[in-house]
Structure 1
Amino acid sequence: MNESNSSISRHRQLPPLAALRAFEAAARHESFRRAADELAVTPTAISHQIRLLEEILGLALFVRRTRQVALTEAGLRLYPTLRDGFDSFARTIAELRPRTGRVAVTLSATTLFTARILLPALGSFQAQHPDYNLRLHASDEVADLAAGMADIAVRYGAGPFAGLAAEPLLTDRFGVLCSPRLGLSAPADLRHTILLHTEWKRRAGAPDWRHWAQLAGMDDLRVAEGPRFTEDGHALQAAIAGHGAAIASLVLARAEIEAGLLVNPFGPVIAGATYHVVATPEAMASADVRAVRDWLKGDRRGGVTPGDQARLTRNRSPGQAPR
């Protein structure tokens, strides 16, 4: 091969790296402002770099609208190549970089999932990974993983989760939960029991008393009466105290069920959505994030794995009807 004519020896004709980075971030976020936040520059600087790139290419890459930008056909062709390229750069650099000191990983999840699933199992992670600092970010607001708010997250829903790698963790189930002191043994007992309510943010299809009564065929159950709570954890605490019966997650209340503080005396059970482990493709490829993912998916003692759901079904109280 004539080395002087080889494509390998010729200089690559590439635009400035800053312009390519600005375009990739703006395309991923569909926002100049969020791209600017990620790259620690001003939106004006992002706009300048993208205009420079458009001038070099002789093509428009974005359609600019009021408070919104959208990729043109040329932008849609360019974005996946740059995204995959930058992800590959980041993975290789992370693998080459020597590990110094303790590795910090931020895991984001809802407040209740953090309190009832992650915190009880935290000791097992620390025992398995003594060189890691696991930071728990508990919030009911969705953390922007692309912007670096967290490295990995647990999200609830059917997906897909745009721009993220997602793996199923466990599927939720909702049912009647109450203190065993109430002595409930059949659905008819609920007609003389205080019903505790959680005010769900999304009412459509919510696992509430109205939904449960429809499944149970109890049209006469007074599903509108009883105390209401804005936090499902507070409804659980009221149930533990014997103040009434609640419709709540059998997965998130597992510890209280196993300790005998709560019972699920009878069905039916409302099928919930699936919890997923999610991260950006770049983060999911890194060893530290994979360690957290593996721990979440069952490589630990404590916490919840999908197999726990079958065990919850077996742990019925005496006289509990099959589901």
Structure 2
Amino acid sequence: MDRPQLPLNALRAFEAAARHLSLTRAGLELCVSQAAVSHQVNALEQRLGVPLFRRLPRGLALTDEGAALVPVLAESFDRISAVLDRYAGGRMREVLTLGVVGTFATGWLLPRLPDFAAAHPFVDLRMLTNNNRVDLAGEGLDYAIRFGDGAWRGADADRLMTAPLTPMCAPGIAQRLSQPGDLAGELLLRSYRPDEWPLWFETQRTPCPPLHGPMFDSSVTTAAAAAAGSGVALLPARMFEHALDQGRLVRPFAHEIETGAYWLTRLKTRKPSEAMRAFREWLIASCAELPPFGA
């Protein structure tokens, strides 16, 4: 069945006049004369068989019929504009929704995103940060970058990089630390993973002191607390190179422990789009080019 031909020019003229409540200002926006806008609105009213405006001595007022039509047109024009905006370089832009653990986002990904955007301008990236608790299906994510062992039910995972943990603290605290046992006299900042500090002390053949310091759900906030002098934190040094370079954080001991890695994950049932394939290839290649930390 043939669709009726929409009077698009008339609808656009009416929508502009309704926003401004002025035929003159609508004409200025549309780069046509006031008379042309009036003609289009009159033609639309004749076609619909109802008045859309009440003409007042100083401007316009919408009728009930006109007020009912305005939000429908505004939403429709906004959706058309949004679709047209998704074209770049002669091709359709694709939305890619990415969930990222905050530490990886701030410590590695964000500084490199301009390179990805320059190489793949058709990808419209939407990024959501989290504290490593993520629901791919429930949050409607194409990908999630998270920390762990790579074993997540129903998900495919590509290993990106390891992120060994090492004690880090403010310079003033570091001056008091010459051997692992000295940590017993400091406040040890903790994550929600209770085995990290015991494992680090075990590898140093040093008894782990009682753990009673503040607990954080994000390495980013833990690092901020450590830099402020609140205590000593176990952190992935690779993700805080900038703070180390600036001297806001110090590594009093070189020893590290590995408790997992960063992975790019997606639902097995999620068929990769072209945007997803482009991001995956770029991310894996970028991580593969990383020099050894500290080199």
**What TM-score range do you get, normalising by the shorter chain?**
0.5 to 0.7
Given that 1:109 and 1:137 are in contact with CA atoms closer than 8 Å, whether structure 2 keeps it comes out as yes
Measured in 2, the distance between the counterparts of 1:135 and 1:164 equals 20
Unaligned ranges ≥5, structure 1: 1-98, 300-304, 315-323
> Which residue number corresponds to residue 207 of structure 1?
196
- What does residue 296 of structure 1 align with? 283
Q: Distance in 2 between matches of 1:234 and 1:135?
A: 23
Q: In the alignment, is residue 186 of structure 1 matched against residue 173 of structure 2?
A: no
Other-structure match for 1:311: 293
1:269 to 1:309, Cα distance in 2 relative to 1, 3 A: farther
> What amino acid sits opposite 1:310 in the alignment?
P
Distance of 2:233 and 2:134 partners within structure 1 = 26
User: Contact 2:102/2:218 (CA < 8 Å) preserved in 1?
Assistant: no
CA distance in 1 between counterparts of 2:285 and 2:246 reads 21
Q: Deviations over 1:57-100 (max 9, x none)?
A: xxxxxxxxxxxxxxxxxxxxxxxxxxxxxxxxxxxxxxxxxx85
**CA distance change for structure 1 residues 158 and 225 in 2, over 3 Å: closer, same or farther?**
closer
Give, in whole Å, the separation in 2 of the partners of 1:270 and 1:238.
Answer: 21
Find 2:111's aligned residue among 120, 124, 129.
Answer: 120
* RMSD after superposition: 2.8
What displacement does 1:170 show? 0.9
Name 1:59's counterpart in structure 2.
Answer: none
* Identity of matched residues, %: 28
Contact 1:155 1:276 in 2 (8 A): yes
Structure 1 residues 128 and 191: CA distance shift in structure 2, 3 A: same
CA contact (8 A) 1:198 1:232 kept: no
Taking the aligned partners of 1:309 and 1:274, their CA distance within structure 2 comes to 16
Are 2:179 and 1:197 equivalent residues in the alignment? no
Contact 1:168–1:275 (8 Å) recurs in 2: yes
* Distance (Å, rounded) in 2 between the aligned partners of 1:242 and 1:308: 31
- Assess if the C-alpha contact under 8 Å between 1:165 and 1:280 holds in 2: yes
CA distance, structure 1, for counterparts of residue 156 and residue 124 of structure 2: 23
The separation in 2 between residues aligned to 1:163 and 1:224, in whole angstroms, is 35
Contact 1:137–1:150 under 8 Å retained in 2: no
Partners of 2:271 and 2:249 in 1: how far apart? 37
Matches within 5 A, 1:158-173: 158-173=149-164
Offset at 1:197? 1.8
Partner of 1:156: 147
1:104 matched residue in structure 2: 95
- Tell me what 1:177 maps to: 168
Give, in angstroms, the shift of residue 267 of structure 1: 3.7
User: CA 1:306/1:218 → structure 2, altered by over 3 Å: closer, same or farther?
Assistant: farther
Q: Is the 8 A contact 1:105 1:134 kept in 2?
A: yes
Consecutive unaligned residues of structure 2, counting only runs of 5 or more, are: 1-89
1:76 alignment counterpart: none
2:135 is matched with which residue?
143
Amino acid at match of 1:158: D
> For the residues of structure 2 that align with 1:297 and 1:223, how far apart are their CA atoms?
40
Q: In structure 1, what residue type is equivalent to 2:227?
A: I
What is the TM-score with the length of structure 1 in the denominator? Answer: 0.54
Structure-2 separation of matches of 1:152 and 1:215: 35
1:272 aligns with 2:254: no
**Is the Cα contact below 8 Å between 1:195 and 1:223 reproduced in 2?**
no
2:124 match: secondary structure: strand
Q: Is the 8 A contact 1:104 1:132 kept in 2?
A: yes
Q: 1:287 to 1:268 in 2, by over 3 A?
A: same
1:217 corresponding residue in structure 2: 205
Distance 1:290 1:185, change over 3 A: farther
CA distance in 1, matches of 2:214, 2:153: 38
